[in-house]
Every structure is written in C-alpha cells, then in structure tokens.
Structure 1
Amino acid sequence: MFKNVMLYRIGPDWPRSAEQWEEALAAEPFAECGASQQKSSGWVPPRGEAHGALVESVDGQWIARFCLETKSVPGDAVRRKAQEVIEQIEKTTGRKPGKKEARDIRDDALISLLPQAFPRRSQITAWIDPQRRWLVLDAGAQGKADELISSLARVAGRGFEVGLLQTAQSPQGAMAAWLADESGDALPHAFNVERECELKGSGDEPAVVKFTRHPLLTDEVRQHIAEGKLPTRLALGWAGRVGFVLTQALQLKKIAFEEGVFDEGSKSGDDDRFDADVALATGELGGLMGDLIEALGGEANSTAVTDQVPAATGVTGAPPAQRAPTAAAADDDGPPF
C-alpha cells in the first residue's frame, strides 16, 4: 500500500499503452552501484521477480517501480585521508598543495573510499491511471520524485509532458477554512478532521504551532487561524477507510488504510495478493483523490500540462549512475506492496 502520494497530471501523447511504457523503461533498467559509483538508479519489476515485467496492468491501472541506490562516505573519513596525502606531499616536496590540487586530492580520497561504503537502496512505486491521466508517485521526498520524473523524461522522449496537478482552491486556503468554520459545514461530507495539524505564521521568523493527538475543531485553533497562522499540514480521514495528512503542496503523507480494507488481499497467494493489493490501493486512493480534488474546487485546468522536468538533472547529460546523490534521495522507503 502507498505511504505517500505526489499527484501529477500527464499529457495525452505518452504513454498510449502499458506496453509502450514497458518498452521505454527497458532503456534504463536498474543496476547496482559499481565499486567507485556513488549512485545508481533505474527500473525494477514491481512484483519483485527477477526478469519480470517492468510494468504491470491491474484492473486497468499501470504499475511500475523505480529503484535508487546510493553509497555515502562520512565527510570526516574523506578529510582525514586527504589530509594524509597533503601532509605527505608537504613532507616530501616542501610545498603546500594549492586549492585546485587539494580539491582533486579530496575527490581521489572519496573515490578510493567508495568501495568500502555500504549501499542504501530505496524504491518508489509509480502508478499511471490512463483514464484520468494521473501519474501517482509513492514518494515522501521531492528529490526522489524528481529522479523518477527525470528518468521518464529521458526514456519517453518526445510526447512526454508532466506537471503537478493544480486545484482551483489552494490546499492551504481550504484547510484554513475547514478549521475556522464553527458550524462544521465547510468540510465536505466524505472527510473528517483528525487530531494532527501544523499552523505557521508569516514573516522572517514565523511562529509555528503543532498539534498532536489534540482536538482541532476548537476555539483555540480558530484563534490561531484568525491571527494569521495558516495550516501547512492537516490530518484527515476519508469515508472511514483511509487516514492521511494533507500538506499545503497537495501531497498526501502518512497514508493509513483502516482495518479490514486489505482483508481480501491478505487471503491470496503471492501473485494474487499483489494484484489484489494494487487493485484495492488504487481503487481506494483513486476515490479519495477524486473527492479531494472536488473538495478543492476541481482542477484549475485539467487539460493544461506544464513541463516540470527537474532542471537540476534535465533530460540529457550524465547517466543516472554518475549523478551525485542528494540527501532526499537517500531516504530508505520500503516497497509499498
């Protein structure tokens, strides 16, 4: 099941079928880091089977999985090794290395230590709803999502368009209205406010108020809203079936399916269970996200897609195994199914 959701709108020209997506992903299969590589990324079979399909179609929903592997060396170890080389140069030649040479020495020290580093691996499930043209990522960090989007841009070529889904009303404005309303009528009937929230003020040093396991439809919370503090995160429940935290960026965090939702999948074998879990998760989350978009006034423009391929990596350039790792991309999330 999904732990997090980032929701994108994809253009109408790619992919036209699960088979077309499968063929594209085959251009960037995952291979673990080599001895001197800091990072490797690519696509793996979502069922976890060696040499399995890279795209699975379940109840008309398309599922793929992106894998990231990173190796990091403590900065202190790199500095110590580089300092040993610098001191040896000073001792044998009587000169102190310049800035460029010292930087090269540090780079060489890092490369020499990488074979001893332990790799960390994480995965992101990507779900395409071909009817609604949604790309849904189970990613908790933007850096990871950017890696996946960049890979799609490289393998898809012309015709690939993607943009974060935009709603007519901002999530932050809607969350503030739901919390400020004394009657309780502002919140759509499918949703209920839970007991976790973060409110943030404005200015250079904004005040932040966090509520955990605390009633939120209270005069205290309404007073904070009246003073100008706006919600950045709000825990909600949907239809008695799914709990989650909505963020101001329209991301869903801490997704938790209520007890009994996955009972059907738990009675199946490994292969059948994957299909059942995918069908249940995409069915529940599809309904939730549809209601949430409606609660936020609908899509701002459901036909518009802006090119949001991450500028830092771009569509061309070094292959993924040669790009430097980021802290966000190194987070270790387990597979959602």
Structure 2
Amino acid sequence: MWFKNLIFYRFTESPDYQVEQLEHALEEHRFSPCKSQELSRFGWIAPHSAMDQQLVFAAQGAYLLTAQKEEKILPANVIKKALQEKVAVIEREQARKVYRKEQLQLKDEIILDLLPRAFSRYQQTSALVMPRSGLIVVDSASHKRAEELLNLLRNSLGSLPIALPDVHHAPAVVMSEWLQKNRDSVPFTCLDECELKEPGDEGGVIRIKGQELFSDEIIAHIEGGMQVTKLAVAWDETLNFVIQDDLSLKRVKPTEELSQTLNEEASEDPLVRLDSDISRLALECQKLYPQFMDAFGGQITR
C-alpha cells in the first residue's frame, strides 16, 4: 500500500497516542451503512481487508487509519422530473398553483421516497499518524476530503491540535525561480511537467507536459508575469510527485529503484507486506518533510 497523494499536517502540541487509546477512540465512530432514510454515513474501517476488527494498523511508531464515506446517489434530473410530475398532478387535480415553499416540501418527500432504492457510492481516505515526528499525512487529492477525515479523528479523540504547514517563501515564487534560473533545488530535480498561471482569479493557465522546462519559451512566460503553480519533480532518487502551490503533493510514485526494493521486500502475507510498505512510507515522509519545508525557506512555527 502506497499513498498516491500527500497532504502534510503538523502537530502544534506533542501528541502521545497509543494503539489501545486510538482503537478505543475510533471504535465509537466505526463505519456502519446508511439506513433507509439516510443520505450519507462516514466512519472508520479497517485499513486493510486482511485485518479483523482492528481500526488501527501500527508500524514502526506510525499509525495507519482509514475512513469510509457512503453517499446515496440521487441524480438531480430524476428528482426534478419527479417533482415536476407531482406538481403537475396537484395543479391539475386541485386547480391551484403550487408555490416554492410547497415545492421544497414535495422535493423532500420525493427524496425520502427514493432513498431506499438509491445506489450507494463509497469513498475511502487514509491517513498516517506519526506522533514521534509530529506529523499527520493524509492521502487525499483535495483538502476538503482530508479535513473530513481529520474532523472525524478530532471528534473521535476529543481534540486534535494540528495545523497546515506554513513556509517563509511562497511556493509559486520559489518554483518559478527554479525554472527561471535554470536550476534544480537539491534534493529536488525538475522533471518534464508544470503548470503556469497568470496572477488573479481569472488569469490564464498554460499546462506543459513532456517538454524541457528550462526552455526559453517557458522562461519568457515567467518573465512576463506568470508563475509556476504545479511542478513535477523527483526527490532524492526515491519518489516522483507534483508539487502544488498549496504545498500538497499529487501523483506520488516510488522511483524505479524504490519500487524494485519494495518488490524484493514483498511478502506473500498481506499484513507483513502492509507492515513493510507503511514502515517505508513513514520513513520516507519523515525524511521528505523537513527537506520539503527547507526548499521554501523553512517552516514558520507559531
């Protein structure tokens, strides 16, 4: 198991979590399926199908947690069509106009009627809690989903003193300087993909893939005022990923060298394999985080 995305959060107070404490806290918020009249459910599940009832997988002082969300799928056009039909029947049979307030009530009734027959969509989000390093890393492509998991963890534990990292230099400015000055920033090596954006909410966007990033054309765009908001890099011959200007990392992949090592260490036992993967993931995150912060001028602590 390897995280595809990394959103870092740092503890603002020194945590002291134990496996038993986490298991007990998460148990009260264990996932259970939606009831017939519910739109969604969110709760903790076992991080791996081979686990029994455990909700926490511990490896080398790091704790793997997984939350699952179930949402009932009710297409808006289906609800709209049913509402139109119901309104038409009332207006025809009762010879009166159905106004907005009543339509909203009818819409709620239609949703309640359709819910028991609706299909469900499931989403899983995992996080790695590393108390010794003072970090939580969430495998999510969006901050919204990451915050949903963290809010669930906060409700489970009673408190969760964490914050997103802040750095001294704006990531977009720093990444633009890497390309403009035609240099990498050890241990980060620029690959062949980036996104340039003009300042402002309605600024133009240029996406570049499979090209030399230190070209005159790209430098001209940067000198013209555009900034690098996404940049694909290789880190320490270990991981490849895309740095976002909000300090999240997307499309995280082990390099060929690391993939070969992981395959050589692979076990037939799924939980032994999970232990190996999570131990290595935690180790790489612990090494990556301080170097990542340093690349943007260092972390601001408050």
Whether 2:234 is the aligned partner of 1:237: answer yes
3-state DSSP class of the match of 1:266? coil
Equivalent residue, structure 2, for 1:282: 282
CA contact (8 A) 2:197 2:203 kept: yes
Residue 218 (structure 1) aligned to one of 215, 218, 223: 215
CA contact (8 A) 2:65 2:126 kept: yes
CA distance, structure 2, for counterparts of residue 50 and residue 95 of structure 1: 60
Higher mean alpha-carbon deviation, 57-66 vs 46-55, is at 46-55
CA contact (8 A) 1:195 1:213 kept: yes
Using the TM superposition, give the Cα deviation of residue 199 of structure 1 relative to its aligned residue in structure 2, in angstroms: 0.4
- For 2:276, the aligned partner's letter is A
Change (3 A) 1:77 1:99: same
Equivalent residue, structure 1, for 2:75: 74
Higher mean alpha-carbon deviation, 242-251 vs 223-232, is at 223-232
Using the TM superposition, give the Cα deviation of residue 169 of structure 1 relative to its aligned residue in structure 2, in angstroms: 2.0
CA contact (8 A) 1:241 1:261 kept: no
3-state DSSP class of the match of 1:274? helix
- For 1:266, the aligned partner's letter is A
3-state DSSP class of the match of 1:198? strand
- For 1:11, the aligned partner's letter is T
Any stretches of 5+ residues in structure 1 without a counterpart?
A: 305-337
Equivalent residue, structure 2, for 1:143: 144
Whether 2:295 is the aligned partner of 1:295: answer yes
Q: CA RMSD in A?
A: 1.7
CA distance, structure 1, for counterparts of residue 268 and residue 283 of structure 2: 18
Equivalent residue, structure 1, for 2:93: 92
Equivalent residue, structure 1, for 2:170: 170
Equivalent residue, structure 2, for 1:255: 252
Change (3 A) 1:116 1:109: same
Identity among equivalent positions (%) equals 29
3-state DSSP class of the match of 2:44? strand
CA distance, structure 2, for counterparts of residue 16 and residue 50 of structure 1: 21
Any stretches of 5+ residues in structure 2 without a counterpart?
A: none
Using the TM superposition, give the Cα deviation of residue 13 of structure 1 relative to its aligned residue in structure 2, in angstroms: 5.4
3-state DSSP class of the match of 2:71? strand
- 1:189-228 equivalences under 5 Å are 189-203=186-200, 205-228=202-225
Equivalent residue, structure 2, for 1:122: 123
TM-score (norm 1): 0.84
- For 1:25, the aligned partner's letter is L
Equivalent residue, structure 2, for 1:133: 134
CA distance, structure 1, for counterparts of residue 276 and residue 119 of structure 2: 35
- For 2:197, the aligned partner's letter is K
CA contact (8 A) 1:264 1:276 kept: no
CA distance, structure 1, for counterparts of residue 107 and residue 55 of structure 2: 39
Using the TM superposition, give the Cα deviation of residue 286 of structure 1 relative to its aligned residue in structure 2, in angstroms: 2.6
CA distance, structure 2, for counterparts of residue 45 and residue 194 of structure 1: 36
CA contact (8 A) 2:193 2:211 kept: yes
CA distance, structure 2, for counterparts of residue 211 and residue 66 of structure 1: 35
3-state DSSP class of the match of 1:92? helix
TM-score (norm 2): 0.93
Paired residues, what number?
Answer: 298
CA distance, structure 1, for counterparts of residue 201 and residue 53 of structure 2: 52
Whether 2:53 is the aligned partner of 1:52: answer yes
Change (3 A) 1:278 1:6: same
- For 2:72, the aligned partner's letter is K
CA contact (8 A) 1:265 1:272 kept: no
CA contact (8 A) 1:82 1:109 kept: yes
CA distance, structure 2, for counterparts of residue 18 and residue 169 of structure 1: 37
Equivalent residue, structure 2, for 1:181: 181
- For 2:271, the aligned partner's letter is D
CA distance, structure 2, for counterparts of residue 15 and residue 66 of structure 1: 21
CA contact (8 A) 2:14 2:131 kept: no
3-state DSSP class of the match of 1:57? strand
Change (3 A) 1:267 1:17: closer
Equivalent residue, structure 1, for 2:156: 155
CA distance, structure 1, for counterparts of residue 136 and residue 193 of structure 2: 27
Deviations, residues 158-190 of structure 1 (Å, cap 9, x unaligned): 4x21211112222212111111113x2xx3321
